Structure 1
Amino acid sequence: MTSITTKNSVVHFNTKVYKELNAYIKQTNPSIIFVLVDTNTHNFCLPNFLAQLESGDIIVEVMEMPEGEDHKTIDICTGVWEALSEYNADRKSLLINLGGGVVTDLGGFVASTYMRGIDYINIPTSLLAMVDASVGGKTGVDLGVLKNQIGIVSEASMVLIDTSFLETLPPNQMVSGYAEMLKHGLIYDKNYWKSLIDFENLDISELDGLIYDSVIIKNKVVTEDPKEQGLRKILNFGHTLGHAIESYFLGNADKTPLLHGEAIAIGMILESFISNKSESLSDQELKEITEGILKTFSKVEIDKNDQKIIIDLLKHDKKNSHGIVKFVLLEAIGQPKIDCQVTNELIVEAFMYYNSLT
């Protein structure tokens, strides 16, 4: 696969990954190499990675954080910053983030702020991180249950996608990442959407190419609008309600937390319904989107009391301006519209539609 050049970085795939990583280390000669992993990637990914890392005489230190979205916090950042300091990290040190979106988001934020910025490399090990967190330079952590409220935009020196790491993932994590791929089709390329919706019959040999296509789509969007002033907002389709749903289920002890992609899948159905009612998305395409998503994602019960709290959480969405909640909606598959205002009544109607699905 041809490497993908982004605005300030480059994404390498599979056979090029370790060749490019080792060449980078030889060229830049970092003072110390730090590898940030979580509990899972420490066990399932780190041994293979270290076996192919050529560090020469450079010290390699491994730092482990707990796995899961509920550990994507400033407290964990503080622990990593302190570890860097204790091991005498300086501005010539390199941080390699080996993990899913939590590790790459948090690790990127830590690197971008430690001593006002040290170099970092992301090696995403989950499907979600490969297609979503790999490009665009968004780093950060959650504020309580509020998703990604603290962070900065700062691209990695390079991103290395080794799809063999996907073999370590449980099925629900694969499905979670698939939601972001579906989103890329819905906001950008109808043909790509159609190539994805038959997920249960997808040949695994096709997955590398589909991941590559997803990264290409995201890179085109963020290259044109790196600071999310316009076009890049389309990447938030399904996320306005999806993030609120994810936050609510994460912070409610009576609920089973949802993976990011599971919440975004619900958000995409809800926001497609809203698109059908307030924009020009056709009844047929709404049906196609709903059925396409529910082929893979199970329905989740969201009652009226849940809905009220979820709607209240919308006020924290990062796309908001002057207290107005702004949605990304669809005029048709592949034709998004940004900065749309939606009434609470229509959101409730969307939940009624979702709950009525079988």
Structure 2
Amino acid sequence: MAQLQSIHCSDYLIHFGNESYNQLNKHLKDTNYSTIFILVDENTHNYCLPYFMSQITGDYNFEIIEIDAGEEFKNLETCSGVWSALSELGADRKSLIINLGGGVITDLGGFVASTFMRGINFINVPTTLLSMVDASVGGKTGVDLGLLKNQVGVFNNPVMVLIDSFYLKTLPHEQLRSGSAEMLKHGLIYDEEYWNKLKDPAVLNTKLIDDLIHRSVVIKNEIVLQDPHEGGLRKIVNFGHTLGHAIETYFLKNDDKKSLLHGEAIAIGMILAAYLSTQIENFPEKKLHEIKSTMLSYFNKVDFGKDDYAAIIDLMKFDKKNSHGNINFVLLKNTGQSVFDKKVSNELIIKAFEFYKN
């Protein structure tokens, strides 16, 4: 396969495939780090770390720090444990943290590095499809506060990001599918041609996956470069997330509901947002049905009862994209054309849920 071009972000590069390890080895050789820490969870420790270590040339003293796997451990308590471990293992301002894992590891590891001794270098090596196409770009770091997603964090860029689709072989199928939701989103908000390529879920299991990941990263990077701190245009990457995050949180905190993966919740959010787009932005109805059928070809339908609606709507008020007490939505004018900061009534949101159900 041809080597994919490295992508220039604001002040760092995202490298792909074999080239990523060439760049990493060069960087480690040229930068005299006092200690190098690798942050993993139990899954990436077992399934990703051995392969990663086999790509390192040169003799370095790596310290491995392992945290529990799962969104429920993406909190300040886990950060506190990692900060303590860094201190006990003699980390200083010339140390490096390599975050080897999915979105939880890269978000939390980036936040830990950004705040330890007021900031040390970190490199992200995303190992899930979701973290490759989403968390790899844009410098967002952070953790959840209770059940509220990503409430505490800072914008801070890594030294570099390494994307190697080899790690996808270690993923269960539902995790691979979960990441595809963000790719579908990139097509809907920015690139109709890309959306059309993704309409068949079988494409995830083909050799095209590397090119598709690369295109997703390019799209997100183009948006972020125009609006690094989400003052305007960058808000469009939250398409499907206003309701999606609320749904994800609601299912996580309800013992009688089966937790949803991020992508599963966001896919529902995108169907709901597409319905709202037809009502508010005259988004074509034919395309609404196409979005619904595409999402449901990737993800199983989820049951909602009427009593769930109010609780989910209530959770939306904690969304970070809100301002002045208003809940703001990203909607579509057409495939590849999005608008942001749109107000939506609760009545319309309930109609969107009814559309999803029927």
Q: TM-score, normalised by structure 1?
A: 0.98
- The answer to whether 1:219 aligns with 2:213 is no
* Distance (whole Å) between structure 2 residues aligned to residue 203 and residue 301 of structure 1: 28
Residue 180 of structure 1 aligns with which residue? Answer: 182
Which of residues 274, 278, 281 in structure 2 aligns to 1:279?
281
Which of residues 167, 170, 173 in structure 1 aligns to 2:172?
170
Deviation track 1:284-331 (CA, whole Å, cap 9, x = no partner) reads: 110111111111111101111111111000100111110000000001
Residue 203 of structure 1, CA deviation = 5.2
Write the mapping of 1:23-62 to structure 2, written as runs, cut at 5 A.
Answer: 23-56=26-59, 58-62=60-64
CA contact 1:240–1:314 (8 Å) conserved in 2:
yes
- The answer to whether 1:7 aligns with 2:10 is yes
Residue 300 of structure 1 aligns with which residue? Answer: 302
Which of residues 85, 106, 114 in structure 1 aligns to 2:108?
106
Query: What is the RMSD of the two structures over their aligned residues, measured on CA atoms?
Result: 0.8
AA partner of residue 340 (structure 2): I
* Distance (whole Å) between structure 2 residues aligned to residue 73 and residue 334 of structure 1: 35
Which blocks of at least 5 consecutive residues in structure 1 are unaligned? Answer: none
- Length, aligned pairs only: 355
CA contact 2:138–2:221 (8 Å) conserved in 1:
yes
Residue 228 of structure 1 aligns with which residue? Answer: 230
* Distance (whole Å) between structure 2 residues aligned to residue 193 and residue 343 of structure 1: 28
SS at match of 1:205: coil
Residue 35 of structure 1, CA deviation = 0.1
Residue 55 of structure 1, CA deviation = 4.5
- The answer to whether 1:129 aligns with 2:113 is no
Deviation track 1:146-187 (CA, whole Å, cap 9, x = no partner) reads: 111110110110000011000000000000000000000000
Which of residues 77, 89, 92 in structure 1 aligns to 2:91?
89
* Distance (whole Å) between structure 2 residues aligned to residue 255 and residue 68 of structure 1: 17
Residue 315 of structure 2 aligns with which residue? Answer: 313
* Distance (whole Å) between structure 2 residues aligned to residue 166 and residue 272 of structure 1: 29
CA contact 1:4–1:12 (8 Å) conserved in 2:
yes
Residue 53 of structure 1, CA deviation = 1.8
CA contact 1:37–1:63 (8 Å) conserved in 2:
yes
* Distance (whole Å) between structure 2 residues aligned to residue 200 and residue 65 of structure 1: 33
* Distance (whole Å) between structure 2 residues aligned to residue 172 and residue 338 of structure 1: 30
Q: In 2 relative to 1, CA 203–246 (structure 1 residues): closer, same or farther, beyond 3 Å?
A: closer
* Distance (whole Å) between structure 2 residues aligned to residue 45 and residue 15 of structure 1: 15
SS at match of 2:208: helix
* Distance (whole Å) between structure 1 residues aligned to residue 324 and residue 53 of structure 2: 49
Residue 118 of structure 2 aligns with which residue? Answer: 116
SS at match of 1:139: coil
CA contact 2:12–2:159 (8 Å) conserved in 1:
yes
Residue 196 of structure 1 aligns with which residue? Answer: 198
* Distance (whole Å) between structure 1 residues aligned to residue 253 and residue 34 of structure 2: 40
Residue 157 of structure 2 aligns with which residue? Answer: 155
Deviation track 1:175-234 (CA, whole Å, cap 9, x = no partner) reads: 000000000000000000000011125551000000000000000000010010011000
Residue 206 of structure 1 aligns with which residue? Answer: 208
Deviation track 1:37-75 (CA, whole Å, cap 9, x = no partner) reads: 01100000001111222342x321000011111110100
Which blocks of at least 5 consecutive residues in structure 2 are unaligned? Answer: none
* Distance (whole Å) between structure 1 residues aligned to residue 92 and residue 116 of structure 2: 9
Residue 15 of structure 1, CA deviation = 1.3
Residue 354 of structure 1 aligns with which residue? Answer: 356
AA partner of residue 214 (structure 1): S
* Distance (whole Å) between structure 1 residues aligned to residue 121 and residue 203 of structure 2: 41
Residue 270 of structure 1 aligns with which residue? Answer: 272
Deviation track 1:221-265 (CA, whole Å, cap 9, x = no partner) reads: 000100100110000000000000001111111111111000000
Deviation track 1:115-155 (CA, whole Å, cap 9, x = no partner) reads: 00000000000000000001100000011111111101101
Residue 239 of structure 1 aligns with which residue? Answer: 241
Residue 85 of structure 1, CA deviation = 0.4
- Percent sequence identity is 57
Which of residues 129, 138, 141 in structure 1 aligns to 2:140?
138
CA contact 2:203–2:209 (8 Å) conserved in 1:
no
CA contact 1:200–1:296 (8 Å) conserved in 2:
no
